[in-house]
């Protein structure tokens, strides 16, 4: 069974309207976005979900 993943894209400018550039997690956020752009199947989507879950405490500390 193939899962169709939704494609959602925001420009860096749109993102930086909501995330101040001085936030220390912004470089990691960009990296996660690049990883997400390369996803082509459910296993890769799960890998991204786990990476984001592990990265999430970075946001909560800021």
Per-residue pLDDT tens for 15-50? 777 766 666 667 788 888 888 888 899 999 999 999
Task: Check residue 29 and give its pLDDT.
Answer: 80
Say how far residue 40 (Cα) sits from the centre of its chain: 15
Alpha-carbon span 26 to 49, nearest angstrom: 18
Better pLDDT: 4 or 5: 4
Task: Check residue 13 and give its pLDDT.
Answer: 73
Task: Check residue 6 and give its pLDDT.
Answer: 67
The mean pLDDT value for 3-10 works out to 68
Task: Check residue 7 and give its pLDDT.
Answer: 63
């Amino acid at each position: 069974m193939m899962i169709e993943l939704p494609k959602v894209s925001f420009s860096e400018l749109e993102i930086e309207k909501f995330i101040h550039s001085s936030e220390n997690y912004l470089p990691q956020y960009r990296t996660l976005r690049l990883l997400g752009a390369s996803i082509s199947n459910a296993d890769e989507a799960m890998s991204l979900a786990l990476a984001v879950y592990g990265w999430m405490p970075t946001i909560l500390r800021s």
